[in-house]
C-alpha cells in the first residue's frame, strides 16, 4: 500500500484512528493499556499503525502514563448561560484539590461532540464532564472517569448523571402563576432535554388544576428570537392570555418584547416568568421572576462525583437531581380585575 501521507508528514493518532475505523481515544488506549481493548480492535489498530508507519512519541506515552490535574468539560453551545454557572460550581469544588478545567466547545452532532471529547482525552485529562448529547460510541471510547451533566436525550447505561430537577421547576413556575389567579397561561418552549422536562412539569401541573394547556415553540430553538416568535404566536391565537412562562431567561426576554409589540404592559396586563435565574433575570432593568435551577450546585456535585470516581472507578452509577428555587421579582403579579 502506498500512502502519500507518509511522504508529506508524520502520521498522527488521528490518521491511525481513521484507518482502523475507531476513535482516537481508543488508539491511545491501545498504546497505554491494551489489555482493556478487545483483541479484534487491538489488531485493527496495530495493523493501521504498521501500514501507516506510525511511531508513537515516547514523550507522549510517558505523559499518558501519569495522571494530569486537568478535568475536561465538553459543552455544545458556549452561548448557553447555563454553562457559566455549571463551570463556576465545578471550579469551586475542583480548585481545592489542585484540578483545573479544560473546556471544549462543540456544535451539535455525534461526530462534533466525539471529536471534542477525543481532543480533551489526547491532552490526558484525569476525568471528563459531558455537558452535551453523549453517544454510546463516545462513552465506549472514554476510558477515564466520566460524568454527564444536565438532561440529555440519551444517557448511556452506567454513566453518572447529575442534573437539575427541571420537571419540578416547570411545576414550580405553573404553581406560582396559578397561585396568582392566572388560568389562561401560555408556555414558550423549545427543543432539547431540559426544555422538554420543564414543559412536562408545567403541563402536568396545569392539567391537575383543570387549566387549558397552551404551548408554542416546542420543536424550535431556545434563543431570544425563538421566544419572541413563540410568544407572538401564543398572543395571536390566545389573545386572552394573562401569563407567559418561558423555558429560559433568554426566551423570556423575547416574550417581553412580544408583549410590548402588542401594546401591553408587564405585569399589569401579562405576567412573565423565566427560567435559569441568569444575570438577565437579575438585572435591575428586567427584574424578571425566574426559576433558579441552581446550576452552580450541579457543577459542585458533578465535580465531587467525578473526584469520587477517580478515586474508586468501581462505584455504582449515580443519578442526582438538584432541587430548583423560585425567585420572585417584578414581572409577575396577581391577575387584575
In this predicted model, what pLDDT tens digit does every residue of 303-312 receive, in sequence order?
A: 999 999 888 7
Structural domain includes residue 8: no
pLDDT confidence of residue 15: 78
Average pLDDT over residues 239-267: 97
Structural domain includes residue 238: yes
Q: Are both 261 and 186 inside the same structural domain?
A: yes
Q: Are both 182 and 226 inside the same structural domain?
A: yes
Strand bridging mode 325-327 / 289-292: antiparallel
Which pLDDT band, with edges at 50, 70 and 90, does 260 fall under? very high
Pick the more confident residue, 35 or 244: 244
In this predicted model, what pLDDT tens digit does every residue of 148-171 receive, in sequence order?
A: 888 776 666 667 889 999 999 999
- Rounded percentage of the chain residues whose pLDDT exceeds 70: 83
Structural domain includes residue 175: yes
pLDDT confidence of residue 243: 98
Q: Are both 287 and 306 inside the same structural domain?
A: no
Which pLDDT band, with edges at 50, 70 and 90, does 63 fall under? very low
Q: Are both 90 and 100 inside the same structural domain?
A: yes
H or E element at residue 185: strand 185-188
Q: Are both 214 and 137 inside the same structural domain?
A: no
Q: Are both 285 and 222 inside the same structural domain?
A: yes
Structural domain includes residue 146: yes
pLDDT confidence of residue 192: 80
pLDDT confidence of residue 60: 46
Best CA proximity match to 198, nearest among 41, 279, 82: 82
Q: How far is CA 242 from the centre of its chain?
A: 31
Buried/exposed 264-287: b ≥16 CB within 10 Å, e otherwise: eebbeebbbbbbbbbebbeeeebe
Q: Are both 197 and 224 inside the same structural domain?
A: yes
Structural domain includes residue 128: yes
* CA atoms of 277 and 293, how far apart (whole Å): 7
pLDDT confidence of residue 206: 97
Pick the more confident residue, 140 or 111: 111
Structural domain that includes position 17: 13-65
Amino acid at each position: 500500500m502506498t500512502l502519500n501521507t507518509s511522504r508529506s508528514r508524520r502520521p498522527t493518532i488521528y490518521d491511525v484512528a481513521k484507518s482502523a475505523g475507531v476513535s482516537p481515544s481508543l488508539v491511545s488506549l491501545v498504546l497505554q493499556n491494551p489489555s482493556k481493548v478487545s483483541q479484534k480492535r487491538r489488531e485493527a489498530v496495530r495493523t493501521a499503525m504498521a501500514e501507516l508507519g506510525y511511531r508513537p512519541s515516547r514523550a507522549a506515552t510517558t505523559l499518558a502514563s501519569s495522571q494530569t490535574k486537568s478535568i475536561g468539560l465538553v459543552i455544545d453551545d458556549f452561548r448557553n448561560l447555563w454553562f457559566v454557572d455549571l463551570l463556576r460550581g465545578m471550579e469551586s469544588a475542583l480548585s481545592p484539590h489542585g484540578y483545573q478545567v479544560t473546556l471544549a466547545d462543540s456544535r451539535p452532532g455525534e461526530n462534533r461532540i466525539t471529536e471534542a471529547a477525543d481532543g480533551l482525552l489526547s491532552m490526558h485529562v484525569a476525568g471528563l464532564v459531558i455537558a452535551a448529547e453523549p453517544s454510546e460510541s463516545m462513552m465506549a471510547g472514554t476510558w477515564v472517569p466520566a460524568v454527564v451533566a444536565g438532561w440529555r436525550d440519551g444517557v448511556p447505561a452506567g454513566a453518572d448523571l447529575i442534573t437539575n430537577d427541571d420537571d419540578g421547576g416547570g411545576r414550580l413556575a405553573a404553581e406560582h402563576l396559578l397561585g396568582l389567579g392566572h388560568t389562561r397561561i401560555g408556555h414558550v418552549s423549545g427543543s432539547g432535554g431540559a426544555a422538554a422536562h420543564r414543559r412536562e412539569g408545567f403541563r402536568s401541573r396545569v392539567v391537575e388544576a383543570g387549566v387549558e394547556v397552551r404551548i408554542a415553540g416546542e420543536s424550535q430553538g431556545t434563543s431570544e428570537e425563538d421566544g419572541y416568535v413563540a410568544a407572538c404566536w401564543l398572543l395571536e391565537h390566545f389573545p386572552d392570555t394573562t401569563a407567559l412562562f418561558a423555558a429560559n431567561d433568554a426566551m423570556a426576554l423575547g416574550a417581553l418584547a412580544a408583549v410590548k409589540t402588542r401594546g401591553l404592559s408587564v405585569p399589569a396586563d401579562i405576567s412573565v416568568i423565566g427560567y435559569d435565574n441568569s444575570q438577565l433575570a437579575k438585572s435591575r432593568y428586567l427584574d424578571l421572576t425566574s426559576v433558579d435551577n441552581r446550576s452552580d450546585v450541579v457543577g459542585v456535585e458533578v465535580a465531587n462525583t467525578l473526584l469520587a470516581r477517580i478515586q474508586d472507578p468501581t462505584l455504582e452509577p449515580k443519578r442526582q437531581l438538584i432541587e430548583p428555587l423560585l425567585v420572585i421579582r417584578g414581572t409577575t403579579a396577581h391577575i387584575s380585575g
